Structure 1
Amino acid sequence: MRGDVSILDELRGEIGEFKRNIRTIKNYKTNTISIVGTDGGNNNLRFDPFIVHVIRVVDSRGNLYYMDVLTPTTPIDELENKIQNRDDALKKMMDFLGVSTLTQLSPMIKKRKPGEPISPSWIQVYRELVEWATLFSLVRDYDYGSDTLIVFDGLLRSKVFDKDLFNKLKNGIEQTIKEKEIKNRCKIYVVGVAKHSKVLDRYNLIMCIDDIMKTKYPCYGRVPRSMEEKAYIWSEYARDDSTSGNITEVNKFVAGKMFLVKFGDAPHDPIWPVDILLSQEKDADKILGYLLDDAILGFPIPWYPLSLQQAHENSALVNFDMDIIQDQILDSIRDSLGDKSERFNAFLLADRDVAARRYGKGL
């Protein structure tokens, strides 16, 4: 430990520019919408032999924008045909990007050859694509009567899109915002909020030791690209449109400028990584002021945007929603078994956890 203490001095040098530019956040009020997609952790089915994934995107007001039900063995061809026959957010995003198949949209979604092992990881990629499609739809397909802040669950960067498609999507979002500002005389702001970041993990200790952002008021700091490049294994995940020098490859994965933000007014309140859309970096004071107003009422997570917490709560499949889905799964299995469905009913009634009797637990 004594030998490696010099690493802290290196971190101090890396964080110097960030430390010198900590600013106060002022509170501003505006219309705020957050969107969240249901993930695997939200599915708590009691009986699920086929690993059913319910993909849905819900906002902080309870509005449902997208819903699909998949299993790891769902044929990609079948899913693509279903998408082409719908007029939803994903189909519109694919049309805008000039692709007609999921395999063209993302290299992480591949058609499985006979005999190949089944991997459920492509479903998480599909969920992320649907979330980006919903964000694009909120910007492009809806009109707002006043300035509106759209809060994305996670940072505004992605590596699931093929080639330069994500950059094309970013440009489409930014161009649409400009057009809507002229048309409706109000502005749409886009931010991404995450609970964790490699950047924060790397510099958290030195920020605590040196009292960086340990203020008695809400504050934020712009994260230099040099800090991001030190934290990320892949430097392209820290590259924006302004990157120059000897690097000739264009920005393909980053749509946001990162800030570290403390919404609380106590020195040890949590710090969150926040991405602001690249073209809106100059409006950081106002945007983070809008986000502060949302975070003040954060519950049950203190000083975390309330709209995001409400969207998470709305997206979770629990209680009555989960009961309905569970019943539909069981009915579908019965239908597929035909005259053997009675054996399935007997299987469900059997006490399969005999060991639980030790603790006085029933079925």
Structure 2
Amino acid sequence: MIDPASQAQLKVAIADCIGSDQNVLDTLRTEISSLKSITRRIQPRLTTSISLVGTDGGNNQLQFDPFLIQLVRVVDSSNNEYCLEAVSPTTPIQKLNDRQLNKEGYPLTALGEMMAFLNVDSLQKLSHMIRPTDKGSPVSPSWVQVYRELVEWAILFALLKKDFGTDTLIVCDGLLRTKVFAQDLFQKILQGMSDRIDQHWKRNRRRVYLVGVAKHSKVLSRYRLAMALEGVLQTNYPAYVEVPREIEEKAYIWSEFARGNDRAEEGGEINKFVGGKMFLVKFGSNPRDPVWPVDIFVPQIQESQAIIGSMLADAINGFPVPHYPRCLQKAHENAALVDFDFDILQDFIYEGVRSSLGPDASTLDAFQLQDADPAQKRYG
């Protein structure tokens, strides 16, 4: 514990820091205050909402040293499964390439279809973050997360081909921006999405909307206190406000993660990473209800009122997280591999290892009975 004398000294030091940095909060309040005047009330709309979610890498690792197998699984809020495969950090990249495209270059998966659309024949060309490592060098598991994200984008792209019986809102888990694509491939896939959405309207007069919802955002973290002090989104009705690009850019260390096509057209660097325009949205009627960052697909910015209105009914019924899209929560529930399912998959690891050990398989049985972390007993 910190002794009382040190506590008093620390209290003075903290107060001094806050006093010196008071101008920082004043600046944030000035930057955010203009949003109060452009806050709009959400008008409810009836639209079918579906959500697409991939498994979380941290929660779906089948761990057994020296193996670290991760599951790549993507489902929607209706529990339709679009992908289920196992990948480890040491999986050969060429083997993954062969899963996507056959020898003639014909796509075998949704990711293969996206690669064919982008005219790339390997994952290395699709993403600069996926590359073979030197033999004998440690393998970073982070590329598996990149692969998972590419699969999610590919399935979203494929989903936009299907026919929809009604106007439909597709809610993605996370903002519509990424850095996993090489060169300008992300912009090409965004244009492909826009074309497919336009085709739905031309053929069937169906509106298909695309949004991304995040639980956290650097923009919201930076301005949360300033918004409370300035009364932004402190309404007694559901409301939203569009976030200017310049405010986004101030919140991100890498400003290109906030630079959309609109900023590029003003003479800035080309937009390679951003497919959405950020809005801050409060679905509840209480001034203290949570505010969520929402990315609206850039070509649909002019329809923001209809899109956010379509999200309202689904978010009001949110459970267990109140005022958060229910379809997104259902998709997360469907995607998570827990309890009995996870135990079965973990057993598959042991069976696979046992079959590969041959005459040494009996050693594995004894190994399973050993306490993997005896140090945990100190908490008993």
Q: Does 1:210 align with 2:230?
A: yes
Please report how far the alpha carbon of residue 47 of structure 1 lies from its aligned counterpart in structure 2 after TM superposition: 4.4
Mapped contact 1:37–1:56 kept (Cα < 8 A) = yes
1:275 aligned partner, one-letter code:
D
After superposition, residues 1-363 of structure 1 pair within 5 angstroms as 1-43=18-60, 45=62, 47=64, 49-85=66-102, 87-140=108-161, 142-244=162-264, 247-352=267-372
2: CA distance, partners of 1:264 / 1:154? 20
Please report how far the alpha carbon of residue 87 of structure 1 lies from its aligned counterpart in structure 2 after TM superposition: 2.1
Per-residue CA deviation, residues 137-194 of structure 1 (Å, 9 max, x unaligned), is: 1112x10011000000000001110000000011110111001111111111000000
Mapped contact 1:17–1:224 kept (Cα < 8 A) = no
SS at structure 2 position matched to 1:189: strand
Please report how far the alpha carbon of residue 324 of structure 1 lies from its aligned counterpart in structure 2 after TM superposition: 2.2
Mapped contact 2:99–2:108 kept (Cα < 8 A) = no
Mapped contact 1:23–1:221 kept (Cα < 8 A) = yes
SS at structure 1 position matched to 2:163: coil
2: CA distance, partners of 1:273 / 1:151? 13
Please report how far the alpha carbon of residue 14 of structure 1 lies from its aligned counterpart in structure 2 after TM superposition: 1.6
Please report how far the alpha carbon of residue 7 of structure 1 lies from its aligned counterpart in structure 2 after TM superposition: 1.7
2:178 aligned partner, one-letter code:
S
Please report how far the alpha carbon of residue 42 of structure 1 lies from its aligned counterpart in structure 2 after TM superposition: 2.1
Q: After the TM superposition, which of the residue ranges 113-122 and 217-226 deviates more from structure 2?
A: 113-122
Identity %: 53
How many residue pairs get aligned? The number is 359
2:27 aligned partner, one-letter code:
E
Mapped contact 1:151–1:192 kept (Cα < 8 A) = yes
SS at structure 2 position matched to 1:242: helix
Mapped contact 2:99–2:109 kept (Cα < 8 A) = no
Please report how far the alpha carbon of residue 9 of structure 1 lies from its aligned counterpart in structure 2 after TM superposition: 2.2
**CA spacing shift, 1:29–1:53, aligned 2, 3 Å:** same
Please report how far the alpha carbon of residue 351 of structure 1 lies from its aligned counterpart in structure 2 after TM superposition: 4.6
**CA spacing shift, 1:355–1:243, aligned 2, 3 Å:** closer
Please report how far the alpha carbon of residue 3 of structure 1 lies from its aligned counterpart in structure 2 after TM superposition: 2.5
**CA spacing shift, 1:245–1:355, aligned 2, 3 Å:** closer
Could you tell me the TM-score, scaled by structure 1's length?
0.94
1:11 aligned partner, one-letter code:
L
Please report how far the alpha carbon of residue 36 of structure 1 lies from its aligned counterpart in structure 2 after TM superposition: 0.7
1: CA distance, partners of 2:61 / 2:181? 29
**CA spacing shift, 1:63–1:241, aligned 2, 3 Å:** same
Please report how far the alpha carbon of residue 30 of structure 1 lies from its aligned counterpart in structure 2 after TM superposition: 1.2
SS at structure 2 position matched to 1:291: helix
**CA spacing shift, 1:83–1:283, aligned 2, 3 Å:** same
Please report how far the alpha carbon of residue 355 of structure 1 lies from its aligned counterpart in structure 2 after TM superposition: 6.1
2: CA distance, partners of 1:161 / 1:216? 41
2: CA distance, partners of 1:215 / 1:238? 27
CA RMSD between the two structures: 1.8
Please report how far the alpha carbon of residue 338 of structure 1 lies from its aligned counterpart in structure 2 after TM superposition: 0.6
Please report how far the alpha carbon of residue 43 of structure 1 lies from its aligned counterpart in structure 2 after TM superposition: 2.0
**CA spacing shift, 1:44–1:130, aligned 2, 3 Å:** closer
Please report how far the alpha carbon of residue 44 of structure 1 lies from its aligned counterpart in structure 2 after TM superposition: 6.0
Please report how far the alpha carbon of residue 244 of structure 1 lies from its aligned counterpart in structure 2 after TM superposition: 4.9
Mapped contact 2:36–2:231 kept (Cα < 8 A) = no
**CA spacing shift, 1:327–1:19, aligned 2, 3 Å:** same
Q: After the TM superposition, which of the residue ranges 350-359 and 271-280 deviates more from structure 2?
A: 350-359
**CA spacing shift, 1:354–1:22, aligned 2, 3 Å:** closer
Q: After the TM superposition, which of the residue ranges 75-84 and 294-303 deviates more from structure 2?
A: 75-84
